[in-house]
Amino acid sequence: MGKSIIKVNQLHKSYQMGTNSLHVLKGIDMDIREGEMVSIMGSSGSGKSTLLNIIGILDNYDKGEYYLNDILIQKMNEKKAAQFRNKYIGFIFQSFNLISFKNAIENVALPLYYQGVPRKKRNQMALEYLDRLGLKDWAEHTPAELSGGQKQRIAIARALISKPKVILADEPTGALDTQTSYEVMDILKEVNKSGITVIIVTHEHDISEMTHRVIRLTDGLIGSNIKNGIHQPTITITNN
């Protein structure tokens, strides 16, 4: 197995709401290796999105350490966070998060726009990625004219265009029917085979079964580590 790409030590995160504090992550330990395809499972509200957003540098954590590609990721300004995201991370969401008034090419090309790639070059690259995902004929269409599966494939193309090391997918099949879900998972498997680390948050067992390793999140802690359907010794249980 490859080197560590995502390493999390004793990670804590609380949300403050007025005088109340909600302790969501209570000492998470996790080590994901380059080239792995991992799922993170847990019931609704268990902190899956919170954890994924911290890994994707969309949110800060309170305590602990997070290393991305051996670099300590700590409270950083938005500009620096965006640079790291651009270099390492591609995001895929349940609700696709496409821009409704832009066509498929423009949506896929968006990360390159933020990198300052000239329009002609970025549109040409976007078309290549759309072609790879079987959507060349839909390049000029807006999201409203596309099916859920097509929209998610556009979102995958957009995530891939900046050549990330890691794809983070938050319930990527949550809004799709079973067959379309499996098609999207087949694409993510291919993405993983190309060498990209893939982390999928899901609460669906059939989806998590398609990954190499399942990490369980229960009550803000990592529970048992399941590989090939066999329970491995628990990685960490921290009580507080």
Using CB under 5 A, list all residues that contact Mg ion: 48-49
Q: Which of 164, 240, 213 is nearest to 11 (CA)?
A: 240
Figure out which of the listed residues 8, 30, 36, 42 binds ligand ADP, where binding follows CB under 6 A: 42
What whole-number distance in Å separates Cα of residue 133 and Cα of residue 223? 36
d(CA 131, CA 38): 27
Can you tell me which residue has the tokens 């651009």? 86
Question: Can you tell me which of 26, 27, 41, 48 binds ligand ADP, judged by CB under 6 A?
Answer: 48
Distance, in Å, from the CA atom of 216 to the CA atom of 196, rounded to the nearest integer, reads: 22
Minimum gap (Å) between residue 183 Cβ and ligand ADP = 24
208 binds ligand ADP (CB under 6 A): no
Among ligand ADP, Mg ion, none, partner that 173 touches (CB below 5 to 8 angstroms by kind): none
Is there a contact between 61 and 25 (Cβ–Cβ < 8 Å)?
A: yes
| CB-based contacts of 123, cutoff 8 Å, min separation 6 | 105, 106, 109
Query: Does the protein bind ligand ADP through residue 49 (CB under 6 A)?
Result: yes
Does 153 bind ligand ADP (CB under 6 A)? Our answer is: no
C-beta atoms surrounding 56 within 10 Å: 20
Residues touching ligand ADP, count (CB under 6 A)? 12
Binding string, residues 120-149; x marks residues near ligand ADP by CB under 6 A: ------------------------------
Residue from 2, 45, 118, 134 in contact with ligand ADP (CB under 6 A): 45
User: Which residues sit at the interface with ligand ADP, rule CB under 6 A?
Assistant: 15, 17, 22, 24, 42, 44-50
